[in-house]
């Protein structure tokens, strides 16, 4: 089988299961984002794939070959660390050439490959620059170039963009995605930023408490979250308590009751899908508590039976509501996701 398989991968620290029975199949050339809150086990999972942590149980298989017991330095995986881990005693060119030097590649070949990589990460001619004299974004690129120097089979990145400011981070996300596509390399990025995951990934793996909560394409994770945890973590959402008999904030919807089952659960709807209308036209009615006009979008907070519902619209379809207004809330059925539990 081609690609990367994680089979029942588990890591225990004392009595804590940092990673708990993870199964995942990543086809060759896929861009995967491991997404989750801090402490969810995503970094531990990445470090196990890199060989920096030994799994307590389970296997890591790449292209049909079991890599579980292979030492890190024989795995041929490129990795970018959160701290970047550039060697302070070497300049840019020497940092990038380090893996080549270890493999005994001859000097001329090393120089050629370094120039090639510096062009790839758009830092041509910086080979002789000391690492300390680089900006944050440049260090980032050097770390990426160094990790790619050996044409690795797997490209791993641990929160690579977290040290950059917001603007640069967004630009680097696009660049990283384009780089991955041009190289066609299987890539796994750990991040806690769902925007970053949505920008770059083919496959978003949402993790919580050491387990995979959902692994799907970004748009599917966004539109069809598998549970309340995923819905809440990915983007802004309205999680409305739904009783087993179909009671949603005082109004009964028998069809929803059937979908959620007798134990009840939540109805998840994205703020941009919530329609605010005149009180008599809505399926639910409530009171506007706050309006946040951000210029590009307007967020309206509506209190319905003590639960706050957020609606996001653009100024073009602006609704002239102000705090204190009574409004009707419409929840289009095709945008609602019923979540058990």
Residues near another protein (CB under 8 A) are: 50-52, 71-79, 81-83, 85, 87-91, 98-99, 102-103, 146-147, 149-150, 156
Q: Please choose, from the candidates 296, 267, 298, the residue with its C-alpha nearest in 3D space to the C-alpha of residue 284.
A: 267
Q: Which is nearer to another protein, 34 or 50 (CB)?
A: 50
Residues 22 and 73: their CA atoms lie apart, in Å, by 24
Q: In whole angstroms, how close is the CB of 95 to another protein at the nearest point?
A: 10
* Pick 8 or 54: Cβ nearer another protein: 54
Q: How far is the CB of 238 from another protein (least distance, A)?
A: 40
Structure tokens at 75: 């795995």
* Coil/strand/helix, residue 197: helix
Cβ proximity to another protein: between 55 and 225 the closer is 55
- What DSSP line would sit under 293-310, residue for residue? E-SS-EEEEEEETTEEEE
C-alpha to C-alpha distances, 102 to 97, 129, 143, 241, 300, nearest whole angstrom: 9, 21, 17, 58, 59
Q: Are the beta carbons of 312 and 293 closer than 8 angstroms?
A: no
Q: What's the min distance (Å) between Cβ of 77 and another protein? A: 6
Residue 46 CB, shortest distance to another protein, in Å, is: 11
Find the shortest distance in angstroms from Cβ 47 to another protein.
8
303 contact partners, CB below 8 Å, separation of at least 6: 286, 287, 288, 289, 309
Indicate the residue among 75 and 169 with the shorter CB distance to another protein. Answer: 75
CB of 89 to another protein, least distance (A): 4
Complex with another protein: residue 146 or 169, whichever CB lies closer = 146
CB nearer to another protein: pick between 20 and 53: 53
Walk across the sheet containing 326-330 and list its strands. Answer: 275-277, 326-330, 284-293, 298-304, 307-313
CB 214 within 8 A of CB 44: no
Residue with tokens 């419409």: 330
Instruction: CB nearer to another protein: give 141 or 275.
Output: 141
Question: What's the DSSP call for residue 91?
Answer: B
Contacts (Cβ under 8 Å, ≥6 apart) of 118: 92, 93, 96, 124, 125, 126, 127, 145
Min CB(185)–another protein separation in Å? 15
């Amino acid at each position: 089988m081609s690609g990367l398989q994680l089979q029942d991968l588990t890591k225990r620290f004392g009595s804590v299961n940092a990673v708990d029975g993870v199964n995942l199949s990543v086809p060759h050339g896929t861009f995967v984002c491991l997404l989750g809150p801090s402490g969810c086990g995503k970094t531990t999972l990445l470090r196990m794939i890199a060989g920096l942590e030994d799994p307590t149980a389970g296997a890591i298989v790449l292209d049909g070959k079991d890599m579980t017991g292979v030492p890190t330095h024989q795995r041929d995986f490129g990795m970018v660390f959160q701290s970047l881990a550039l060697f302070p005693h070497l300049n840019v060119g020497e940092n990038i050439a380090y893996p080549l030097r270890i493999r005994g590649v001859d000097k001329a070949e090393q120089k050629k490959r370094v120039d090639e990589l510096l062009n790839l990460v758009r830092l041509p001619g910086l080979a002789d620059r000391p690492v300390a004299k680089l900006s944050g974004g440049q260090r980032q690129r050097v770390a990426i170039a160094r990790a790619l120097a050996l044409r690795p089979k797997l490209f791993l990145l641990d929160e690579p963009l977290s040290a950059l400011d917001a603007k640069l981070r967004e630009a680097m996300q696009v660049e990283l995605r384009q780089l991955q596509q041009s190289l066609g390399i299987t890539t796994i990025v750990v991040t806690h930023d769902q925007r970053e995951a949505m920008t770059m990934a083919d496959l978003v793996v949402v993790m919580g408490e050491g387990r995979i909560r959902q692994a799907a394409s970004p748009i599917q994770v966004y539109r069809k979250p598998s549970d309340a945890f995923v819905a809440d973590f990915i983007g802004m959402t309205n999680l409305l308590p739904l009783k087993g008999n179909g009671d949603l904030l005082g109004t009964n919807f028998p069809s929803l009751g059937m979908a959620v089952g007798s134990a009840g659960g939540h109805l998840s709807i994205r703020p941009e899908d919530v329609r605010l209308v005149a009180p008599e036209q809505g399926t639910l009615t409530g009171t506007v508590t706050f309006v946040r006009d951000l210029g590009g979008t307007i967020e309206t907070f509506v209190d319905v039976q003590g639960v706050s519902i957020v609606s996001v619209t653009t100024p073009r379809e602006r609704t002239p509501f102000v705090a204190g207004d009574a409004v009707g809330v419409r929840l289009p059925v095709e945008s609602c996701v019923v979540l058990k539990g």
